[in-house]
Amino acid sequence: MTDSLSSRLQQVRLRLDAACAAAGREPGAAALLAVSKTFPADDLRAAYDCGQRAFGENYVQELQQKCEALAGLDIEWHFIGPLQSNKTRVVAERAHWAHSIDRLKIAERLSAQRPDVLPPLNVCVQVNVSGEDSKSGCAPEEAAALARAAAALPGLRLRGLMCIPEPTQDAARLAAQFARLRGLLQQLNAEGLALDTLSMGMSADLEAAVAEGATLVRVGSAIFGQRDYQH
């Protein structure tokens, strides 16, 4: 397992480097977040042994379990899934990042529950750039107000924006969704927020995301393999 995971991880890193080069960006301009949801702690440890440090989890209970199982490693934990208001405490106490801020109540709870001994929680506002009913995220026209409100909370450090575009083979349509998120970030920076993170792009579309300015790409299956949701 370790050998194949190592090979897949290296292939993703090569894809990222090639995507940055094709977009005229510096190597490493887009960082890799290994999305490890549903995979066992041993797989994360194997990726860690290959140099990966940032891991993304979608489920609160799984985040907590893996934080405990891998407590001795200097892992940067990112929570990237939908977050219910009654489950914010684990994320506030355990994670370094939360990408899925889609309403003010979630931001307020994370801020209030962030331990004083920890630095502010890095957060991204999730924007529903595709307008799909099935997708989490605030509407694009609501993103600026939510971002400003989150940036004012003492337990948080607003870093940027996140999106999950619709799955489509239409390259122009996909690029337009990524470009919309980039435009929102530029708008907020023009207003003085000084954001530095565009969390966008996954295994199937990372090249398109990097071309539109992604700084953090969330890749799961291309590293860990296909998921078994019956585990």
Residue-level pLDDT at 227: 72
Whether 215 has a pLDDT exceeding 90, the answer reads: yes
Q: For the chain, what is the mean pLDDT?
A: 95
Whether 167 has a pLDDT exceeding 70, the answer reads: yes
Calculate mean pLDDT across residues 8-35: 97
- Joined tokens for residue 60: 């609160």
Calculate mean pLDDT across residues 76-99: 97
Which among 171, 162, 123 is positioned nearest to 140, based on CA atoms? 162
pLDDT interval class at 142 (50, 70, 90)? very high
- What is the Cα–Cα distance from 40 to 5, expressed in whole angstroms? 13
pLDDT digits over 197-212, tens only? 999 999 999 999 999 9
pLDDT interval class at 139 (50, 70, 90)? very high
Q: Using a cut of 0.85, tell me whether the model's pTM lies above it.
A: yes
Domains of the chain are 5-224 (3.20.20.10)
Could you list the beta-strand ranges (E) of the chain: 31-35, 54-57, 76-79, 97-101, 121-126, 156-162, 197-199, 216-219
- What is the Cα–Cα distance from 55 to 52, expressed in whole angstroms? 8
Neighbours of 194 (CB within 10 A): 10
